[in-house]
């Protein structure tokens, strides 16, 4: 369990950044079981992988600028989009928000001193690190990086001579890291809420992290075993998926998507939680439809596990299968719709302050809606037959993963940065960078919808000249994103060292627990465990206005 309670309150009073535990220096971080420090370990390692992944994305865009060879050969291109996908999915968006902000803020938001299993928490970071290193190793080993796409479809993944096995094991280990985070969060939410915090007094981000954690626990093992079997298939040739030995490659796809579809909700749910957290703060009013938002998280987690085969509409499933999975895909859109409408309704009669986190959140709603609505279009059978495996899909998932989760991540970073580090970044610059990101992002991905519908397949090194115009626009978009992303990181790094000090507890005027404690938080968050008496996002003074108005 948590650290022994031998520390006097005074020692406990110091900020978690300065706290001296058993170890000092770098070891004080690498061996710390403090959830906040682990959150930061994740933040640093995740950012590194994000930059690697993003660089690959940037290089792909350069290659696609002109038809034929631009800067690399096809083999390199194939490896790069595989690595880009693997890194972005398994090392960035899936762990993303839960591992960084979930670790840092979940215990604080429910009034606890740490997560339920702090040592397990540290272990999960180490697993993450090992998985990441293995992924990097697969690039460096002789044989060359895997070139299968992040989906590792059989039989190609059994036939190719590249380093598929290290990549598979990397994904397997990362899966376990994700599972441990899930186990920790479910237990923490059940057992460690502060007195008085019943389920419907929990902040909405806790609801979404809770729902996410369940998906992590239940879905991840399936991909674990599936990827393991691909490795077994490669090494021993047992034939479980290999059609040459009687296996069914479509069954591989089923198993892969049984995890990987729910995984997209692992990615988006925590970001939705962040959005639900930020909107009331910057609209300075209570959230609209608290229960509906909370329950829709559960509904998404639930229905999310029922639609996996919509990735296989051209694979030759039975008609019954097509019918059921298309129908269920339509249904899964509804809880997301409920969320979006409630968020927009929360702006109504608010007092809106467009600070950087809020800008990112509004962009999230816009971009997630585009991504989600095109997702629904893909769920429509005849349409999906046309757009499956084209850049329409590529546009869809970048809109939800980057435009949604990515922007949610950036929103969270701008929102909680002052609390985490006690420093403030340059707000004016942050706003400008936001606009560059927004414009760059949409320029980069929107053209992909058009060329996808027209018939530009994905995972294409080369293309017909008629698609060039869209590729050029898209690549230009990536050039706008480059400086923007650089500047955003730059702004944060500068703020860390030279930024204005923040000691104020509540910079944005939030009402959740993290804004009631010291900035940056003390070692065990709370000197005294709070007793919670009210729901979050009350903004009581607004209520008074309402009553006096009505009285008039």
Partner 1 sequence: MENHSKNHSHNQHGYGVYFLVWLALMALTGITVAVAGINFGRITVATALTIASIKTYLVLTIFMHLRSESKTFRVFVGVALLFLIISFVLLFTDYSFIVRN
Partner 2 sequence: MFDGVSNFSQSTDLAFFFTLVVSIFFLVLITVLMIYFVIKYNRKRNPKATNVHHNTALEVTWTVIPTVLVLIMFWLGWTGYLEQSRIPANALTIEVTAQMWKWSFKYPNGKETDSLYVPVNKDVVLNLHSIDVNHAFYVPKFRIKKDVYPNQKRSAWFNATETGSYDIACAEYCGLNHSYMYNKITVMSENEFNAWLNSPAKHPGEILASDTSLIKLPDSAK
Partner 3 sequence: MSIQHTAAAHIHRDDVASRMGMWLFLFTELLLFGGMFILYSVYRFTHPQDFHLAAKELNTVIGTFNTAILLTSSLTMALSIAAIQRRQKTLSIIFQLITILLAFGFMVNKYFEWGAKFHHGIYPGSDTLLSKPSGEILFFGLYYVMTGLHGLHVIIGVVIIAFMTVFTLRDVITHDNYVKLEAAGLYWHLVDIIWIFLFPLFYLIT
Q: Is residue 62 a contact residue for partner 2 (CB under 8 A)?
A: no
Q: Within positions 186 to 245, which residues make up the interface with partner 1, using CB under 8 A?
A: 190-191, 193, 195, 197-198, 214, 218, 222, 243
Contact 145, 62 (CB under 8 A): no
d(CA 111, CA 512): 10
The neighbouring-strand residues paired with 525 are 522
What x-and-dash track marks residues 124-163 binding partner 3 by CB under 8 A? Answer: ----------------------------------------
Contact 184, 124 (CB under 8 A): yes
Q: Within positions 516 to 545, which residues make up the interface with partner 2, using CB under 8 A?
A: 539, 541-543, 545
Query: Of the two residues 168 and 215, which places its CB atom closer to partner 1 in the complex?
Result: 215
Query: Of the two residues 110 and 495, which places its CB atom closer to ligand HEA in the complex?
Result: 495
Omega into 357 within 30° of 0, i.e. cis? no
d(CA 411, CA 270): 12
Nearest Cα to 203, choosing from 141, 262, 270?
A: 270
Distance of CA 55 to the CA centre of its chain: 18
| Token duo for residue 176 | 């376990």
Q: Which of 48, 75, 251, 496 binds partner 2 (CB under 8 A)?
A: 75
Q: Is 547 exposed, middle or buried (0-12, 13-18, 19+ CB in 10 A)?
A: exposed
Q: What dihedral do alpha carbons 239, 151, 257, 262 form, nearest 10°?
A: 140
Can you give the three-state secondary structure of 473-513, one letter per residue?
HHHHHHHHHHHHHHHHHHHHHHHHHHCEECCCCCCCCCCCH
Q: Is 461 exposed, middle or buried (0-12, 13-18, 19+ CB in 10 A)?
A: buried
| Token duo for residue 106 | 């979940």
DSSP 348: T
Query: Of the two residues 107 and 270, which places its CB atom closer to Cu ion in the complex?
Result: 270
Q: Which of 20, 23, 133, 237 binds partner 3 (CB under 8 A)?
A: 237
What x-and-dash track marks residues 192-231 binding partner 3 by CB under 8 A? Answer: x--x---------------------xxxxxx-xxx--x--
DSSP 521: P
Distance of CA 265 to the CA centre of its chain: 9
What x-and-dash track marks residues 13-52 binding partner 2 by CB under 8 A? Answer: ----------------------------------------
Q: Which of 47, 76, 187, 386 binds partner 3 (CB under 8 A)?
A: 187
Q: Is residue 309 a contact residue for partner 1 (CB under 8 A)?
A: yes
d(CA 533, CA 526): 17
Binding partner of residue 193 among partner 2, partner 1, partner 3, none, CB under 5 to 8 Å per kind? partner 1
Query: Of the two residues 346 and 491, which places its CB atom closer to partner 3 in the complex?
Result: 346
Binding partner of residue 149 among partner 2, Cu ion, partner 3, none, CB under 5 to 8 Å per kind? partner 2
Q: Is residue 388 a contact residue for partner 2 (CB under 8 A)?
A: yes
Q: Is residue 248 a contact residue for partner 1 (CB under 8 A)?
A: yes
Binding partner of residue 552 among partner 2, partner 1, partner 3, none, CB under 5 to 8 Å per kind? none
Query: Of the two residues 165 and 307, which places its CB atom closer to partner 1 in the complex?
Result: 307
Omega into 2 within 30° of 0, i.e. cis? no
Closest distance to partner 3 from the beta carbon of 405 (Å): 23
Q: Is residue 545 a contact residue for partner 3 (CB under 8 A)?
A: no
Q: Which residues bind partner 3 (CB under 8 A)?
A: 1-3, 5, 113, 116-117, 120, 179, 182-184, 186-187, 190-192, 195, 217-222, 224-226, 229, 232, 236-240, 245-248, 251, 254-255, 258, 511-513, 516, 526-536, 538
């Amino acid at each position: 369990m948590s650290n022994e309670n031998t520390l006097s309150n005074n020692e406990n009073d110091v900020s978690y950044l300065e706290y001296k535990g058993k170890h000092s220096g770098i070891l004080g971080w690498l061996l710390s079981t403090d959830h906040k420090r682990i959150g930061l370990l994740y933040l640093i390692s995740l950012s590194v992988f994000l930059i690697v992944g993003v660089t690959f994305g940037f290089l792909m865009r350069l290659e696609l600028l002109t038809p034929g060879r631009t800067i690399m050969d096809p083999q390199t291109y194939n490896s790069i989009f595989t690595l880009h996908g693997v890194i972005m999915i398994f090392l960035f968006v899936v762990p993303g928000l839960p591992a960084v902000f979930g670790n840092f803020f979940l215990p604080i938001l429910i009034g606890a001193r740490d997560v339920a299993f702090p040592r397990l928490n540290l272990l999960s970071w180490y697993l993450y690190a090992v998985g990441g290193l293995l992924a990097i190793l697969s690039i460096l080993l002789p044989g060359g990086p895997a070139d299968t796409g992040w989906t590792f479809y059989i039989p190609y993944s059994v036939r190719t001579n590249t380093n598929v096995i290290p990549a598979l094991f990397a994904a397997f280990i990362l899966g376990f890291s994700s599972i441990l985070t899930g186990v920790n969060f479910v237990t923490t939410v059940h057992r460690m809420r502060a007195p008085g915090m019943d389920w419907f007094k929990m902040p909405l981000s806790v609801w979404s992290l809770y729902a996410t954690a369940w998906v992590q626990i239940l879905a991840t093992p399936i991909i674990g075993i599936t990827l393991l079997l691909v490795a077994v298939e490669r090494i021993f040739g047992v034939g479980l998926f290999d059609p040459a030995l009687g296996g069914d490659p479509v069954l591989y796809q089923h198993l892969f998507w049984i995890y990987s579809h729910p995984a997209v909700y692992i990615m988006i749910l925590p970001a939705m939680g962040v959005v639900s957290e930020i909107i009331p703060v910057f609209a300075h009013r209570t959230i609209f439809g608290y229960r509906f938002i909370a329950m829709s998280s559960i509904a998404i987690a639930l229905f999310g596990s029922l639609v996996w085969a919509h990735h296989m509409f051209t694979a030759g499933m039975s008609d019954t299968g097509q019918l059921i999975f298309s129908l269920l895909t339509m249904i899964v859109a509804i809880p997301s719709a409920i969320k979006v409408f409630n968020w927009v309704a929360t702006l109504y009669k608010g007092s809106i302050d467009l600070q950087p986190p809020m800008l990112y959140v509004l962009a999230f709603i816009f971009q997630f809606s585009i991504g989600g609505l095109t997702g629904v279009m893909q769920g429509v059978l005849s349409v999906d037959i046309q757009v499956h495996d084209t850049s329409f899909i590529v546009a869809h998932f970048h809109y939800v993963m980057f435009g949604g989760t990515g922007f949610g991540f950036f929103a969270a970073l701008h929102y909680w940065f002052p609390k985490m580090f006690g420093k403030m970044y340059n707000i004016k610059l942050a706003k400008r960078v936001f606009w560059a990101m927004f414009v760059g992002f949409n320029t980069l991905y929107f053209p992909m919808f058009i060329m996808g519908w027209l018939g530009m397949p994905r995972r294409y090194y080369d293309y017909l000249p008629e698609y060039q115009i869209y590729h050029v626009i898209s690549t230009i978009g990536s050039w706008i994103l480059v400086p923007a992303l650089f500047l955003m990181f730059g702004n944060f790094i500068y703020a860390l060292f030279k930024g204005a000090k923040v000691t104020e507890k509540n910079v944005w005027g939030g009402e959740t627990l993290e804004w009631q404690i010291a900035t940056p938080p003390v070692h065990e968050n709370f000197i005294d465990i709070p007793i919670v008496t009210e729901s979050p996002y009350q903004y009581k003074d607004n209520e008074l206005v309402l009553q006096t108005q009505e009285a008039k």
